[in-house]
A = this chain, B = another copy of it.
Amino acid sequence: MNNISIQTTNEYCATGGGISRSSFKGQTLQESPDLGEKVRELFDGSGVQLSTKNVTFARRETVFLEDDKADCFYEITSGTMCVFMAMADGRRQIVRFASKGDIVGLTLLDRYELSVETITRSTAVRIRLTDLIEKLTMSPQLAKNLLTYVSEELIDAHQKMLIIGRKTATERVATFLWAMAQNGQRAGWREGQIRLAMSRSDIADFLGLTTETVSRAITHLRQVGIISCVGAGRVFLKDAESLKELALGFEA
């Protein structure tokens, strides 16, 4: 069953760090590569009409900011983004990293409650949020799918609170690497292979630490033989069991 209507257009967003706005090049190519797999899942069986566009973002570009008018959401098709909340003085907490298949910007409110920016050059499918709430009332299936989606995010969020609030620096980094290894496996990478697209500073903002502390924790894990690194972005998991124990807090 796949009765979603999809109109697709391509668009290049090069807004130089500002908020991405349509550049309306008039292209209306009817492509549909691997675009919107997750969105298909969510909207499948709903009978809802979706108008989508393929968009591209440069590295370290803002996708949208907290309190911006929420007009679109995105399913990432390539690259990595981070979803974060910031304080007036610049301190920020990254709530999650998002990559292929993940959705960002999906909200019921009329303004985004979080900011999103790219870490690497990224592509995404952009979908209008227009009347999402009305659509919900019309399609129980859609509402149910979205509820499942948000519920999963909530469980994730709760676990992250425990990580940030109650774990030591090494435990936090171990937990993070463990999760990244799991991600990798789901994406079909070689066992134990971890690719970190984000900087140490991003990881720090994700774990509630500083760049230096993250670096030291990784160095420590390397010295005790749990991981090995080649460059900053390529990590190999040598002792998965110990990493997991550390992550869970068993005083390794």
Min distance, Cβ A135 to any Cβ of chain B, angstroms: 10
Which of A92, A141, A147, A165: most chain B CB closer than 10 A?
Answer: A165
Q: A157 to chain B: which residues have CB within 8 Å? A: 154, 157-158, 161
1/0 contact string of A93-122 vs chain B (CB within 8 Å): 101000000000001110001100000000
Enumerate A43-84 residues with CB–CB distance to B below 8 Å: none
Which of B114, B138, B151 is A140 in contact with, Cβ under 8 Å? Answer: B138
Q: A133 to chain B: which residues have CB within 8 Å? A: 144
Q: How many residues of A contact B (CB 8 A)?
A: 46
Which of A107, A148, A153, A154: most chain B CB closer than 10 A?
Answer: A154
Q: Kindly state whether residue A252 has any CB partner on chain B within 8 Å.
A: no
Q: Could you list 9 A-B pairs, sorted by A, with CB under 8 Å?
A: A85-B159, A95-B158, A136-B147, A143-B143, A143-B147, A147-B147, A154-B154, A157-B161, A164-B164
- The 5 A-B pairs with the shortest beta carbon distances in the complex, nearest first, are A165-B208, A143-B143, A157-B157, A140-B140, A93-B162
Taking Cβ atoms with an 8 Å cutoff, the residues of A that contact B are 85, 87-89, 91-93, 95, 107-109, 113-114, 133, 136-141, 143-144, 146-148, 150-151, 153-155, 157-162, 164-167, 207-208, 248-251
